[in-house]
């Protein structure tokens, strides 16, 4: 008989997801001998047998991979037949890079769900059911290598039945490190608002009942505590807002199932696979007018964050409550989420009426991830639970480096070989607890990757915590990279693009190389070099942070630029009736004298100003509210654009917004419908981006256009820029793995440092 042998190397998320048992199973089915083992970067397979069986094996290996696995590279080579007998799963060799062996947390699989609702199964109704295809991973790991003894499951010795499953290579729970059952595994408990233990035979059922009665329940989830409330109960949702001190930012809603979600949001076919994917993120979907959700959930925003139960505990809670639940991070606004029982009982005291606890420690804190859908793919907004620590694959190998991120929506990133490992979303680093979380997570990643950092790269901003942190990163060299360049490099890292391109980075704020506040930037990209090539023309931004909280301030500055001081005062009285004349007068004085005023090219602030001028948002309850409201009302029908001009100044292309601002202000003064103004504004911004990008592309001969920065979270703007680029036969490069907002800049910084170090 014709025999041959193959050596196969598989890379990607292939450990802790049932890949080895899968290979064992298909090898046995094909009658092959050999072995499978985890390696530092993936899984290695050796198979031999009849040539026909080998090709059947190869087909199955490609086609039937476990649902939570993600193969980024699969290579095979023929080797001499060596007469191996039987098939075995070999002991792991993990080498230095232990992080690559830890998958992200995986939402409950079908088989486990079936057991959960099967009265005959020994795990019937058990809220911690899991297997090699699903369950907690990253959030329970405390040290390396990834096995049960080094997770928070170490506290639960397996009962004989669980151990048999764990040791049987043909069982779905073979080496499922968090394997557990009602006999031996974690258990729920219930505590009252004062922290006193409440006797309950069925804690999850009691919690669901309390939710239905309109109470707020703190639930210990996968990556930390969540605060739950009945999403159809206006009083309950308002109480949650008040107690959490979160006045206006929309809440995400967990629905019992897809059908329930459809009643509140428009969910396309392509959205379903995102909601049902192993990472189970929150997906931003357009709300339905007939939505059963309480108005206080979305606070007038046109989109709702939808997600589905991703642990058995969530599944039980949602089906027992029989209604959608607000599920929001268990914290007070701006603090990291609580993870420990005692911590939650003290920090969430006064917020929660009831605490649904369990005794499996959460080791790694991770918020729920948030995504949008663009085209058929995921477009990340916040990357945490279900995504971290899966790496972003890079086009080639690099020395160890780190990017330290920024202070808002902070993440950091390590590059190790040909993969970039981003931390989970760490939040805004204004308060000490968030900074501690950052430093702790950084230590953990450095240790798990066994990284010897040749370089670390931080933002140019002198006052950022992450800038001050740089000397503590333990790197040989330190680089600083301008904020918007980091946005552009993050797309280069993700796409592996090399060559000529135009980079567009539009966001709220980034410290510029000239000390100005940048935020509407164009770059010439040539291989690894990124140079500033254009900008929105500068306008005076009064008083930094105050302008972000009160968009009328930026709007007033535009009024003054367009109309002059005297007319600006009158226009402000008309357009911002809620703002006292005294305040506008003082601010105009400051602008005249240039006191506490910085030049800015911020596109985000232009959106703020447009929103204020339309009368939508003069004071913002949270960052991004003004542009979100503006996008939300923009009419679906095109209504023309405002004028804008381009000019060359000192080798930089300048996009002048004055014509646009003048047109917009005139519309606002004439009480043109805000829907029309909003649409015109969006279309003008898109047209300005398109014409500046094509002008720069002509000059350099580029065909590709990179789009990054928080402004591109705006789906309306992004869609019209994408359409426009394709019409011009240009190729857009956008984010698919990290957020376009500041959550993605650490990847860009790390990639920049890697290119610098590798280039010598």
What is the binding site for Zn ion (CB under 5 A)?
109, 112, 131, 133-134, 159, 162, 181, 183-184, 507, 510, 742
Q: Closest separation between CB of residue 34 and Zn ion, Å?
A: 27
Write down the least CB distance from residue 448 to Zn ion, Å. 25
Whichever of 405 and 724 has its CB closer to Zn ion, that residue is 405
Q: Which is nearer to Zn ion, 146 or 398 (CB)?
A: 146
- Give the residue with the Cβ less far from Zn ion, 516 or 672: 516
Rounded to a whole number of angstroms, the minimum distance from the CB of residue 485 to Zn ion is: 11
Question: With the C-alpha atoms ordered 76, 82, 88, 90, is the resulting torsion angle positive or negative?
Answer: negative
| Cβ proximity of 311 and 302 under 8 Å | no
**Cβ closest to Zn ion, residue 179 vs residue 364:** 179
- Would you say 331 or 749 has its CB closer to Zn ion? 749
* Least gap, CB of 619 to Zn ion (angstroms): 23
Of the two residues 184 and 719, which places its CB atom closer to Zn ion in the complex?
A: 184
Q: Name the residue nearer to Zn ion (CB basis): 368 or 742.
A: 742
Q: What is the DSSP letter of 69?
A: -
For 277-310, b/e burial (b = at least 16 CB within 10 A) is bbbbbbbbbebeeebebbebbbbebebbbbbbbb
Distances (CA, A) of 573 to 269, 521, 580, 663, 738: 48, 33, 8, 19, 42
How far apart are the C-alpha atoms of 484 and 576, rounded to whole Å? 32
Nearest approach in angstroms of CB 649 to Zn ion is 24
| Helix H or strand E segment including 510 | strand 500-511
DSSP 90-115: PPP---S--GGGPPPPBPPPHHHHHH
Residue 711: CB minimum distance to Zn ion, A:
9
What is the distance between the alpha carbons of residues 760 and 744, in angstroms, rounded to a whole number? 25
Closer residue to Zn ion, CB minimum distance, 11 or 487: 487
DSSP codes, 691-756: HHHHHHHHHHT--EEEEESGGGG-HHHHHHHHHHHHHTT-EEE--SSS-SSGGGHHHHHHHHHHHH
Nearest-approach distance from CB 131 to Zn ion, in angstroms: 3
When the beta carbons of 46 and 315 are compared against Zn ion, the nearer one is 315
Least Cβ distance, residue 167 to Zn ion (angstroms): 13
CA dist 210 and 435 (Å) reads 35
Q: Which is nearer to Zn ion, 183 or 343 (CB)?
A: 183
Least distance in angstroms from the C-beta of 78 to Zn ion: 36
**Is the Cβ–Cβ distance between 54 and 4 less than 8 Å?**
yes
CB of 586 to Zn ion, least distance (A): 30
Tell me whether residue 67 or residue 599 sits nearer to Zn ion (CB atom): 67
Question: Six-digit token pair at 447?
Answer: 């240790």
Distance, in Å, from the CA atom of 372 to the CA atom of 306, rounded to the nearest integer, reads: 10
CB of 300 to Zn ion, least distance (A): 26
87 bridge partner residues: 34
The one-character DSSP state at 131 is B
CB 217 within 8 A of CB 352: yes
Write the DSSP string, 134-175: BB--GGGB-SSS-SGGGBTTTTSPPPHHHHHHHH-TTSTTTT
Nearer to Zn ion by C-beta: 3 or 164?
164
CA distances from 236 to 215, 229, 515, 533, 660 (A): 6, 6, 46, 51, 43
**389/709 with CB nearer Zn ion:** 709
Main-chain dihedrals φ then ψ at residue 648, nearest 5 degrees: -95, 130
Q: How far is the CB of 520 from Zn ion (least distance, A)?
A: 11
CB 183 → Zn ion: shortest distance, Å? 4
Token pair belonging to 358: 């369990």
Q: How many CB atoms lie within 10 A of CB 450?
A: 15
Q: Report the distance separating Cα 217 and Cα 240, nearest Å.
A: 10
Q: Give me the least distance between CB of 99 and Zn ion, in Å please.
A: 23
Structural tokens at position 752: 């920049």
Number of Cβ atoms within 10 Å of the Cβ of 312: 24
Q: Minimum CB separation from Zn ion for residue 413, in Å?
A: 15
In the chain, what is the greatest distance between 2 CA atoms, to the nearest angstrom?
A: 95
- Minimum Å gap between C-beta 146 and Zn ion is 17
Closer CB to Zn ion, residue 33 or residue 713? 713
Element holding 401 (H helix, E strand): strand 392-403
Residues 6+ apart with CB under 8 A from 340: 361, 362
304 or 547, CB closer to Zn ion?
A: 547
* Nearer to Zn ion among residue 365 and residue 409 (C-beta): 409
Q: How many residues does the chain have?
A: 760
């Amino acid at each position: 008989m014709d025999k041959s042998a193959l050596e196969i190397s598989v890379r990607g998320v292939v450990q802790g997801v049932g890949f080895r048992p899968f290979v064992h199973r298909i090898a046995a089915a094909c009658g092959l001998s050999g072995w499978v083992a985890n390696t530092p970067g993936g899984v290695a397979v050796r198979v031999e047998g009849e040539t026909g069986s080998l090709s059947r094996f190869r087909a199955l290996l490609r086609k039937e991979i476990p649902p939570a696995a993600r193969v980024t590279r699969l290579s095979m080579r023929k080797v001499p037949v060596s007469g191996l007998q039987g098939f075995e799963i070999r002991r792991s060799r993990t080498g230095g890079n232990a992080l690559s062996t830890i998958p992200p947390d995986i939402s409950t699989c079908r088989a486990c769900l079936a057991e959960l609702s099967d009265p005959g199964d020994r795990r019937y109704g058990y809220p911690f059911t899991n297997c090699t295809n699903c369950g907690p991973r990253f959030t329970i790991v405390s040290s390396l290598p990834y096995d049960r003894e080094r997770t928070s499951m170490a506290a639960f010795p397996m009962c004989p039945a669980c151990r048999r499953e764990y040791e049987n290579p043909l069982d779905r729970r073979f080496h499922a490190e968090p394997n557990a059952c009602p006999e031996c595994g974690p258990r729920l408990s219930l505590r009252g608002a004062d922290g006193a233990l409440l006797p309950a035979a069925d804690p999850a059922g009691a919690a669901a009942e309390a939710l239905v009665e309109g109470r707020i329940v703190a639930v210990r989830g996968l990556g930390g505590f969540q605060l739950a409330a009945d999403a159809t109960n206006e009083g309950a949702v308002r109480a949650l807002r008040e107690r959490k001190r979160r006045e206006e930012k929309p809440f995400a809603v967990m629905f019992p199932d897809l059908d329930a979600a459809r009643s509140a949001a428009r969910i396309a076919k392509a959205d379903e696979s995102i909601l049902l994917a192993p990472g189970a993120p929150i997906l931003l979907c357009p709300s339905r007018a007939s939505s059963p959700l309480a108005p206080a959930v979305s606070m007038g925003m046109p989109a709702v964050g939808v997600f589905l139960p991703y642990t058995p505990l969530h599944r039980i809670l949602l089906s027992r409550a029989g209604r959608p639940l607000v599920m929001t991070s268990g914290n007070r606004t701006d603090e990291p989420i609580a993870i420990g029982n005692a911590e939650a009982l003290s920090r969430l005291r006064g917020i929660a009426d009831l605490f649904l606890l369990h005794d499996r420690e959460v080791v790694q804190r991770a918020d729920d991830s948030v995504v949008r859908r663009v085209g058929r793919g995921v477009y990340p907004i916040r990357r945490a639970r279900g995504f971290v620590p899966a790496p972003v694959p890079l086009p080639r190998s690099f020395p160890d480096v780190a990017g330290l991120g920024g202070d808002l929506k902070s993440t950091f990133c390590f590059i190790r070989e040909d993969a970039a490992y981003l931390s989970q979303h760490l939040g805004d680093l204004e308060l000490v607890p968030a900074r501690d979380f950052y430093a702790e997570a950084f230590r953990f990643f450095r240790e798990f990757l066994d990284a010897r950092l040749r370089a670390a790269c931080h933002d140019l901003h002198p006052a950022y915590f992450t800038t001050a942190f740089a000397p503590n990163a333990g790197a040989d060299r330190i680089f600083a990279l301008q904020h918007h360049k980091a946005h552009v490099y993050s797309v280069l890292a993700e796409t592996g693009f090399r060559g000529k391109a135009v980079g567009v980075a539009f966001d709220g704020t980034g410290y510029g190389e000239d000390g100005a506040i940048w935020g509407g930037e164009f770059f010439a990209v040539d291989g690894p070099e990124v140079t500033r090539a254009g900008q929105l023309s500068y306008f005076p931004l009064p008083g930094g942070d105050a302008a972000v909280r009160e968009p009328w301030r930026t709007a007033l500055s535009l009024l003054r630029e367009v109309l002059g001081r005297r007319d600006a005062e009158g226009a402000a009285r008309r357009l911002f009736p809620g703002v006292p004349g005294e305040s506008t007068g003082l601010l105009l004085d400051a602008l005249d004298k240039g006191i506490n005023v910085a030049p800015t090219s911020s596109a985000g602030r232009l959106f703020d100003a447009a929103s204020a001028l339309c009368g939508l948002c003069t004071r913002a309850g949270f960052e991004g509210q003004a542009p979100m409201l503006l996008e939300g009302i923009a009419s679906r029908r095109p209504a023309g654009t405002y004028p804008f001009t381009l000019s060359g100044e000192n080798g930089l292309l300048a996009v002048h917004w004055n014509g646009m601002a003048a047109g917009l202000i005139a519309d606002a003064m004439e009480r043109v419908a805000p829907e029309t103004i909003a649409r015109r504004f969006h279309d003008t911004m898109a047209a300005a981006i398109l014409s500046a990008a094509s002008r720069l592309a002509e000059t350099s001969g580029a065909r590709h256009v990179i789009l990054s920065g928080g402004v591109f979270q705006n789906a309306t703007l992004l869609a019209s820029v994408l359409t426009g680029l394709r019409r011009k036969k240009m190729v857009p490069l956008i984010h698919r793995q990290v957020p376009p907002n500041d959550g993605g800049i650490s990847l860009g910084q790390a990639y920049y440092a890697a290119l610098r170090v590798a280039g010598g």
